[in-house]
Structure 1
């Protein structure tokens, strides 16, 4: 076990789970994939080293055969639908949003259906029918129609909310990146504290899996160091385990 005091907090919390004969569920979602890159190779290499399943949120409008060929032999990778083109359609005075109320719903839903069909064709062995809205935002009026578009789950950021939707939520909860500050990796102690907070919420009753959110294309070295250390710590204990989104979908209750 590490002697680093930053990580001892997480190790102690995972030990509490072991003493209760429990194991916390983690899953990893990485956003904005479109093509093979050195950063993607690094992410896949880490996942393979520590046997961690990864859900890649792929942007349908900007991907193609090159990424499909790169992922063809990667058994730990699942591919989800990251909107359509990751294009902002919100006015300048509002937060960025592709799947918002600023375009006709029929157009948005048609693009989502096309994205689902396209990625299912490109990644027949890797595709999962999960919608990951760009910027983790989606107009609530679209939610009842996701199932009809071919989706079986929705993944945004934050705790699952009791909203009217046609599919269950499998969300992320801890984002490595400091989007509103340095735009690099967040402070490691802050990140460990956020993960421990999520673990404590689960220990007290919530069965929601803890989603870790990464963005391989913009990782600085600090982000890679943190992710490696997180994988190492979880690998050394039975208090936590990494699951694929495909496994998580099997255990989800239908929405509604």
Structure 2
């Protein structure tokens, strides 16, 4: 199958949106930022070229002024809170989790509060009080307490369910974590995006939330992102939206 044939289902779906006079919403969350790197520069340049806002989930414990200074000239970036230190506290044999039930709740909440305050101070002009749990996992017992420590939204992965806090979830992960740990097959990703657009067209779904991890992208992942930006920009039926708009 040629690249144009692979992308045809998305092109066709977006043409349907355009013909109906409707606009499909997309947003991008990128996890694990700590400091300026060549990979981050590549992500920022690509998203700026296509005017695609990006929500960077930053790990508070390991970041500092260098990242804040690098992002100061990027008007299309929002910073969210990626847990505290991205450390696994689950015992061997369980799925990795920093924000689980394995430690006293007060300790976990204190770390999250410290992380929120630190990132808000470092990135005052671009900070969003949105929590992005490492590995997209969080103990449900913590959710009622997040607003009390300054969070207004939570972002994990998958269709959002009932929660005592606003949810803005990523819904399409471009990485193949269980396989080669590189970018996923483009045709499979396009199929997922089209399925979500079909739901949204019927009023049964929200924005398509892309999830990326710039530090571990291979060329399969990078090429998918760039081609997706090209296709959506050319369609006349898409907009990439910043987190602040989606949470307003």
Aligned to 2:6: 6
Aligned to 1:224: 222
Deviation at 1:239, TM superposition (A): 1.8
Tell me if 1:86 matches 2:83: no
Correspondences of 1:152-231 after superposition (within 5 Å): 152-163=152-163, 165=164, 167-231=165-229
Task: Kindly provide the CA deviation profile for residues 184-232 of structure 1, in whole angstroms up to 9, marking residues without a partner as x.
Answer: 0000111111111111111121242110000000000111111000000
Deviation at 1:237, TM superposition (A): 1.6
Aligned to 2:132: 132
Contact 2:27/2:240 (CA < 8 Å) preserved in 1?
yes
Give the match's secondary structure for 1:4. Answer: helix
Aligned to 2:110: 110
Deviation at 1:126, TM superposition (A): 1.1
Instruction: Give the Cα separation in 2 of the matches to 1:247 and 1:181.
Output: 35
Instruction: Give the Cα separation in 2 of the matches to 1:121 and 1:3.
Output: 44
Tell me if 1:234 matches 2:232: yes
**4+ long deviations beyond 2 Å:** none
Aligned to 1:15: 15
Contact 2:196/2:205 (CA < 8 Å) preserved in 1?
no
TM-score normalised by the chain length of structure 1: 0.95
Tell me if 1:70 matches 2:74: no
Deviation at 1:3, TM superposition (A): 7.1
Q: Supply the RMSD in Å over aligned alpha carbons.
A: 1.1
Instruction: Give the Cα separation in 1 of the matches to 2:222 and 2:20.
Output: 31
Aligned to 1:141: 141
Deviation at 1:88, TM superposition (A): 0.3
Give the match's secondary structure for 1:236. Answer: helix
Unaligned runs of 5+ in 1: 251-256
Deviation at 1:62, TM superposition (A): 0.5
Aligned to 2:99: 99
Instruction: Give the Cα separation in 1 of the matches to 2:3 and 2:119.
Output: 44
Aligned length: 247
Unaligned runs of 5+ in 2: none
TM-score normalised by the chain length of structure 2: 0.98
Contact 2:196/2:208 (CA < 8 Å) preserved in 1?
yes
Instruction: Give the Cα separation in 2 of the matches to 1:106 and 1:40.
Output: 34
Instruction: Give the Cα separation in 2 of the matches to 1:5 and 1:117.
Output: 48
Contact 2:24/2:239 (CA < 8 Å) preserved in 1?
yes
Give the match's secondary structure for 2:166. Answer: coil
Deviation at 1:73, TM superposition (A): 1.1
Task: Kindly provide the CA deviation profile for residues 147-176 of structure 1, in whole angstroms up to 9, marking residues without a partner as x.
Answer: 11101110000001013x2x2100000001
Contact 2:101/2:139 (CA < 8 Å) preserved in 1?
yes
